[in-house]
Structure 1
Amino acid sequence: MTLAMFTLEGDQLVPSDIARSMWSHDQMHGVAVSGALARALETTLSEIGRTDLHPARYTVDLFQPARMSPCTVTTEVVREGRRICLIDATLLQEGERVARASCIFLLPTESPSGDVWTPDDHPKAPPADEVPPSEEPRVPFFTSAAPWSQSFSDHQNAGRKQTWQAGLPVVAGEEGTPFQSVASVADATSMVVNWGTEGVQFINTDITLALARPPVGREVGLSATDRVEVDGIAVGTVEVFDRAGPLGTAMVTSLANGRRPVDFEDVDFSDDGTRR
């Protein structure tokens, strides 16, 4: 099994088995969809020569299940100015739109003087002796009511969750970038905020990632900060961080899917992407 989520055939992205969702055998997970969209947005930014800009706000709408079949991604530069660039991307399968994204890229400048409130307590990367630094693809680490581990069954509880992951390569033969990594891992916000004692019973309909700076590498963490649930609609937020400190936040809006939960009680994974 390839650990890249897609192979490239002409202008088509062909999903590999590791892109398969646990919601349905013929459905891609949001990590793969978000990774494909982020790659297209970043490629377009490079093509117009704006590598001076950093991704600041990235939003994905997951309004239709993406199937395990070839897809293409189109992009449009909506606005380009000296300090800002807005690019939209659309993922299509058989000519039909199944997901879309937009990203605002901003020009970094010097911060003004003055003091503004900021929290003192930020999540930190797991200890290096427990989770050795590595940007190689591997099973995600979680902590919850149980300590840091790669055993999913240990974390099927009602504890507050954090995860630490290195993003999978989006396309085989390409190394991937820190932005592609954090954009794809941001889909795991739903697992961090919606995973409880009976599995993941909510499916996210979107992702919004806000970054004050890019990650220093492809390793990033998510830490649950808030969750509100009413009448089968849940809103969850996480803080995004890396080994250098906080990056920003991510949020997902989710719909109850209790009849088909993703149950991790007896499921664990190997670093080659297979289930144990």
Structure 2
Amino acid sequence: METFYLSRGEGRYQPTEHTAGPWTPDAQHFGPPSALLVRELESLPCDGERGLARVTVEILGPAPLAELTVTAEVVRPGRSVELLSATLSAGDRVVARAAAWRLAVTDTAEVATVPGEETTALPSVADCPVAEWPEGWHGGYLDAVEWRAARGAVLTAGPAAVWARQRVTLVDDEKPSPLQRVFTVADSGSGVSNVLDPRRWLFINTELTVHIHREPVGEWICLDAATTVGPRGHATARSTLHDLEGPVAAGTQALLVRHR
């Protein structure tokens, strides 16, 4: 089946080969696991209309291509503001934890901020060529997503923007939610905007934080990213995530940088 995960019931999921990351075929790219955590957070019951405003995924170790278990709970209930938590485990090992703020939905259309031209001046998907990845990065997750180069180039060091669309579902034949689409690609910011030769350097993110100001519309998500490397082995990748109508969220990743 063309999906990232097969549901085994009772919160258990079997990853397919589409989840395999570019660094090693034995571990998943953390885009699909992040989306799986968001799916579990979205499934938590609530009173009234609410939406996720911020999700932080703490990556505690590699996600193997083996059965995973996902659980979620409301940590701090409230009438307008709630704190949620989700855990992703492989056997007895916790692979990742997510914390999210879920807020009440109200009508603020009359005061909504209109994005500036500098944040929306992206070429249309139809005008963008297929994005190229560094040699040896193909397969698994990268092939399960359609990538189009919008600005800059992944093969060239520095900021870059790519349009992305899932070729496969997240779980079974279920249609991904708008936020699941965002998190499937949000963890790729550091790869899109890498400034280091991956043959000589490792740059591994330990977390992903995404602030959402609206849900995206449609299948295409643009990741407009830039990475800043500090002098002591730390770096930060920052991303603006767009749909075809403009920005929808902001993402950040803390990176460990070191020689191979």
Q: TM-score, normalised by structure 1?
A: 0.78
Deviation at 1:253, TM superposition (A): 0.5
Residues 28-84 of structure 1: per-residue CA shift (max 9 Å, x gap): 11012101111111112xxx2446111110100012111111010111101222222
* 1:246 equivalent in structure 2: 247
1:42-61 mapped onto 2 (5 Å cutoff): 42-44=42-44, 48-50=45-47, 52-61=49-58
Deviation at 1:23, TM superposition (A): 1.8
Deviation at 1:244, TM superposition (A): 1.3
Give the secondary-structure state (helix, strand or coil) at the position aligned to 1:140: strand
CA distance in 1, matches of 2:255, 2:30: 12
CA distance in 1, matches of 2:221, 2:180: 11
Deviation at 1:215, TM superposition (A): 0.8
CA distance in 2, matches of 1:87, 1:6: 23
CA distance in 1, matches of 2:26, 2:125: 37
Give the conservation status (yes or no) of the 8 Å contact 1:144–1:157. Answer: no
CA distance in 1, matches of 2:66, 2:97: 17
Which stretch has the larger CA shift, 201-210 or 50-59?
A: 50-59
CA distance in 1, matches of 2:162, 2:47: 32
Give the conservation status (yes or no) of the 8 Å contact 1:237–1:252. Answer: yes
Assess, with a 3 A threshold, how the Cα gap between structure 1 residues 52 and 4 changes in structure 2: closer, same or farther.
Answer: same
Residues 162-200 of structure 1: per-residue CA shift (max 9 Å, x gap): 111124421112111111110221111121232545467
Deviation at 1:130, TM superposition (A): 2.0
Amino acid at match of 1:240: L
Residues 83-141 of structure 1: per-residue CA shift (max 9 Å, x gap): 22221000011122110101111123244988999755213453243259xxxx64212
1:123-272 mapped onto 2 (5 Å cutoff): 123-130=120-127, 138-146=145-153, 155-167=154-166, 168-194=168-194, 196-198=196-198, 201-225=202-226, 227-259=228-260
Give the secondary-structure state (helix, strand or coil) at the position aligned to 2:123: coil
Give the conservation status (yes or no) of the 8 Å contact 1:163–1:221. Answer: yes
Assess, with a 3 A threshold, how the Cα gap between structure 1 residues 159 and 78 changes in structure 2: closer, same or farther.
Answer: same
CA distance in 2, matches of 1:125, 1:175: 27
Give the conservation status (yes or no) of the 8 Å contact 1:204–1:253. Answer: yes
Percent pairwise identity: 29
* 1:66 equivalent in structure 2: 63
Amino acid at match of 2:181: S
Give the secondary-structure state (helix, strand or coil) at the position aligned to 1:194: coil
Give the secondary-structure state (helix, strand or coil) at the position aligned to 2:187: helix
**Structure 1 unaligned regions, length at least 5:** 147-154, 260-276
Assess, with a 3 A threshold, how the Cα gap between structure 1 residues 236 and 174 changes in structure 2: closer, same or farther.
Answer: same
Deviation at 1:207, TM superposition (A): 0.3
Give the conservation status (yes or no) of the 8 Å contact 2:207–2:254. Answer: yes
CA distance in 1, matches of 2:156, 2:109: 44
CA distance in 2, matches of 1:213, 1:256: 32
Deviation at 1:15, TM superposition (A): 0.6
Is the strand fraction higher in 1 or 2? 2
Deviation at 1:4, TM superposition (A): 1.2
Assess, with a 3 A threshold, how the Cα gap between structure 1 residues 195 and 201 changes in structure 2: closer, same or farther.
Answer: farther
Deviation at 1:145, TM superposition (A): 3.6
CA distance in 1, matches of 2:80, 2:104: 5
Amino acid at match of 1:129: A
Q: TM-score, normalised by structure 2?
A: 0.83
Amino acid at match of 1:217: G
Assess, with a 3 A threshold, how the Cα gap between structure 1 residues 94 and 249 changes in structure 2: closer, same or farther.
Answer: same
